[in-house]
Structure 1
Amino acid sequence: MLILLGINYKKIKHYIKILFYSGVFWVCMAILHLGSLNLEAFQSGKFNYPSANYLAMFISAYFSWSLLTTFFYFLIEKHPPAKGNLFWVLQFILVSLVWLLMVPIIRDFLTVHFMGGRSISLVKVIVNESPFLYVFNFFKTIMTYCACAGIFFYTRMHEEKLSSLRFQREAAQALERNSRYQLQALQAQLSPHFLFNSLNSISAMARNQESARIVKVVASLADLLRYAIEGSRQTQVLLSEELKFTKDYIALQSVRFDGCFTFNCNTNSLSPSVFCPPFCIQTLVENVFAHTEMVKANPIAINLTIEESNFSCLISVENSPVIPTDNEGAGTSLKNLRERLVLLYGPDARLDTYSDEHKFVVRILFSVGQVDD
């Protein structure tokens, strides 16, 4: 029978739960009804406590309505009320007619069982029922169906809302994971690139400088690599630490390109709690060395400017004059940095470049107040 109705064991527990809660409701209604019937007698002092059998009969009669409630809920789950589907109307009418005929039969059975007396035929029970009680029970049936429908639609709306929130949360988590993977992939390109350029610098110094100076530079390089390794594991670092790293990088390059460039740093008072992407300033400065020919006859002026406000941070690197090299693939490091900025700060983050025959300028803008991961 359960298989024919399409009910599994999980659903059985579901409907038992509905039967329990609806039973509690109808028992409470029975107590209220019984109290209202005896309120006048209680006020006049003629109140007599009902017998145990009478209470059991009264409560059992009301409790039987929980069976209708559970069955209504089952039908609503199978065929929810809908404008384009009127099958639920036919179901409601048929079930209501059957239930209206069952109510006097159930009451007669309970009366005979608890109060004694003779049972009469089912036809007489149905015919002798008061028309008022039929109308009253019909309105109770309508209210029961409406209550079940209201609970069903509220529950479904709540479940759909939870499902939507769960989907949005899973989508956001998937996007965050994807963004982190992209960010890690982009940052993984930085450390080898930086190490390659640094080793080239060491190689050049080894050919042209004394060994004592090489030892000092290697020690500085070790500090730079330590920061590079730590920075590659983070999505953000303190702006002050990134600036120090960039200055150390400039010091290393000054050994390789002695007399080929000058470096000026213009910053306002930096907040100690401002974060930025690792290697962001160093990437801007490194771009100058990667795509500009360094010659002593025409030294390059590199100007770094950091402007910090309550809401954003603007970092710009300008080099002049422009002496391009034959290096292919120019702009790859800036493209990677632009992608990192978007992943960290959203589409409002910017990386812009400007160039003319006299200078090349690259600026990055991102929001401040971010929390370090």
Structure 2
Amino acid sequence: MNKLFEDRNRQFWILHTLGWLGFAIVNYLSSLVLDTRDAYLIVISLDAYVGWLLTIPLRYFYRHIWAWEPWKMILTVLVVALLIAMFWTVIRNFNYWEIYRHGYRPSDWLLYIKDTPAAFYVMLSWSGLYFGIKYYQTLQAEKQKSLTAMNKAHEAQLKMLRYQLNPHFLFNTLNAISTLVLINDNDTANKMVSRLSDFLRYSLYKDPINKVPLEQEIYAARLYLEIEKVRFSERLSIVIDVEPGTEKALVPSLILQPLIENAIKYAVAREVNGGEIAITTRKFGHDLLLEVADNGPGLPEIVDSSKTADNKGSGVGLVNTRERLAALYDNDFALVLTQNQPRGVKVNIRIPLQLEQTETKDA
């Protein structure tokens, strides 16, 4: 039964047909009480069939007005239901007079629409059931989307702990701190420990389900890059360009970190002269644009590494980032990997622009 109703289109046709079949059965049972002739069964069947046909276009019309303002939608539904009810009443009376009354034609045209209130009630009932079921389906879809987002976010957090904050990063950072201690550069070592502590605290305690202001995400990115800069020194150049007005925009927590890690891995670590990582944020209409670019070897190496048998290339970080975005924004996002000019790779993310005051802040 569940499989039968999984498809929404199939679900509509089943419920639509059963509803009008029920209408015909109830009317026929009522006719038996009045001891009417068998010809009335034909009239009832035709009435139900015409009603079945007339309400099919309502489905597509109601889809069109679903996003309207409530008062406008309700008023439109009342008017359309009344018009359909009047048309249905005329056909029902015609069937009744033609079949049951053997071609009777009343002289007063008002008799053709005299039963409109009853038909209007039926059309309103159909409309109410349609919107009620559609609203329930929408709630279920949102609930499922929320559960999916929660699962993907927790999965992303676990994967982050597994390979984004991988042992190599921690070992390299600790080795750098150890080297600073050995050369008696204790001030820099203390700063490194502090930055590492702050970054780990941010990574571990930020709920991946909630969004954070972009300024917090940039803060975490700076911590990560400052830690890496101790390792690479002058080989790592950092450019961060945050457009004014985007600081309070809400983004998924640690959405930039795997992209920055890829850039470190492929654009800096493998180049003798190091490289540059540029983080840019821009507003574009009602969207927020995020970009992480480098001047490394370029796109082919990155793409090839994502196809390796052990699946440990940069493609993993990009796939997980895409999965998180899809879970949080459905289809209202974009993640594009392109060739940077004159060389290197850039990753562009587009998400809806949501400001901090419109949503609950992180605790």
TM-score (norm 2): 0.57
Instruction: Report the CA distance between 1:254 and its aligned residue.
Output: 0.6
Instruction: Supply the distance in 2 between the matched residues of 1:355 and 1:148 (Cα, whole angstroms).
Output: 66
Q: Is the 8 A contact 2:208 2:253 kept in 1?
A: no
Instruction: Supply the distance in 2 between the matched residues of 1:171 and 1:321 (Cα, whole angstroms).
Output: 42
Name the SS of the counterpart of 1:94 in structure 2: coil
Name the SS of the counterpart of 1:81 in structure 2: helix
Instruction: Report the CA distance between 1:221 and its aligned residue.
Output: 0.7
Instruction: Report the CA distance between 1:94 and its aligned residue.
Output: 1.2
Q: Is the 8 A contact 1:79 1:87 kept in 2?
A: no
Instruction: Report the CA distance between 1:217 and its aligned residue.
Output: 1.1
Equivalent positions of 1:1-373 (< 5 A) are: 80-81=23-24, 87-88=28-29, 90-94=31-35, 158-159=128-129, 161-196=131-166, 197-206=168-177, 208-210=179-181, 212=186, 213-292=188-267, 294=269, 297-322=272-297, 328-355=312-339, 358-369=343-354, 371-372=358-359
What is the letter of the counterpart of residue 218 of structure 2? Answer: L
Instruction: Supply the distance in 2 between the matched residues of 1:251 and 1:79 (Cα, whole angstroms).
Output: 71
Instruction: Report the CA distance between 1:349 and its aligned residue.
Output: 0.8
CA deviations over 1:156-187 (Å, ceiling 9, x no partner)? 76456434433432333223222322232223
Residues 169 and 232 of structure 1: CA distance in aligned 2, closer, same or farther (over 3 Å): closer
CA deviations over 1:193-248 (Å, ceiling 9, x no partner)? 34325412223315533252433311111111111123244431110111111111
Q: Is the 8 A contact 2:236 2:268 kept in 1?
A: no
Aligned length: 249
Name the SS of the counterpart of 2:348 in structure 1: strand
What is the letter of the counterpart of residue 147 of structure 2? Answer: R
Instruction: Supply the distance in 1 between the matched residues of 2:259 and 2:269 (Cα, whole angstroms).
Output: 16
Instruction: Supply the distance in 2 between the matched residues of 1:202 and 1:176 (Cα, whole angstroms).
Output: 37
The answer for the alignment partner of 1:106 in structure 2 is none
Structure (1 or 2) with the larger CA radius of gyration: 1
Instruction: Supply the distance in 2 between the matched residues of 1:372 and 1:204 (Cα, whole angstroms).
Output: 41
What is the letter of the counterpart of residue 274 of structure 1? Answer: A
Name the SS of the counterpart of 1:366 in structure 2: strand
What is the letter of the counterpart of residue 353 of structure 1? Answer: L
The answer for the alignment partner of 2:78 in structure 1 is none
Task: State the percentage of identical aligned residues.
Answer: 17
Deviates more, 1:246-255 or 1:307-316: 307-316
Residues 91 and 180 of structure 1: CA distance in aligned 2, closer, same or farther (over 3 Å): same
Residues 157 and 247 of structure 1: CA distance in aligned 2, closer, same or farther (over 3 Å): closer
What is the letter of the counterpart of residue 94 of structure 1? Answer: D
Instruction: Report the CA distance between 1:335 and its aligned residue.
Output: 1.4
Instruction: Report the CA distance between 1:305 and its aligned residue.
Output: 1.8
Name the SS of the counterpart of 1:266 in structure 2: strand
CA deviations over 1:251-295 (Å, ceiling 9, x no partner)? 100111223221112232134431111112233211111334526
Instruction: Report the CA distance between 1:353 and its aligned residue.
Output: 1.0
Residues 317 and 160 of structure 1: CA distance in aligned 2, closer, same or farther (over 3 Å): closer
Residues 195 and 81 of structure 1: CA distance in aligned 2, closer, same or farther (over 3 Å): closer
Name the SS of the counterpart of 1:302 in structure 2: strand
Name the SS of the counterpart of 1:280 in structure 2: coil
Name the SS of the counterpart of 2:331 in structure 1: coil
Note the aligned Cα RMSD (angstroms).
3.7
Instruction: Supply the distance in 1 between the matched residues of 2:259 and 2:136 (Cα, whole angstroms).
Output: 41
Instruction: Supply the distance in 2 between the matched residues of 1:214 and 1:250 (Cα, whole angstroms).
Output: 16
Instruction: Supply the distance in 2 between the matched residues of 1:353 and 1:147 (Cα, whole angstroms).
Output: 60
Instruction: Supply the distance in 2 between the matched residues of 1:231 and 1:358 (Cα, whole angstroms).
Output: 35
Instruction: Supply the distance in 2 between the matched residues of 1:278 and 1:349 (Cα, whole angstroms).
Output: 16
Instruction: Report the CA distance between 1:148 and its aligned residue.
Output: 8.0
Instruction: Supply the distance in 1 between the matched residues of 2:22 and 2:263 (Cα, whole angstroms).
Output: 71
Instruction: Supply the distance in 2 between the matched residues of 1:301 and 1:160 (Cα, whole angstroms).
Output: 57
The answer for the alignment partner of 1:105 in structure 2 is none
Name the SS of the counterpart of 2:293 in structure 1: strand
Residues 350 and 219 of structure 1: CA distance in aligned 2, closer, same or farther (over 3 Å): same
The answer for the alignment partner of 2:90 in structure 1 is none
What is the letter of the counterpart of residue 247 of structure 1? Answer: R
Instruction: Supply the distance in 2 between the matched residues of 1:249 and 1:93 (Cα, whole angstroms).
Output: 83
Name the SS of the counterpart of 1:364 in structure 2: strand
Instruction: Report the CA distance between 1:354 and its aligned residue.
Output: 1.3
Instruction: Supply the distance in 2 between the matched residues of 1:80 and 1:249 (Cα, whole angstroms).
Output: 67
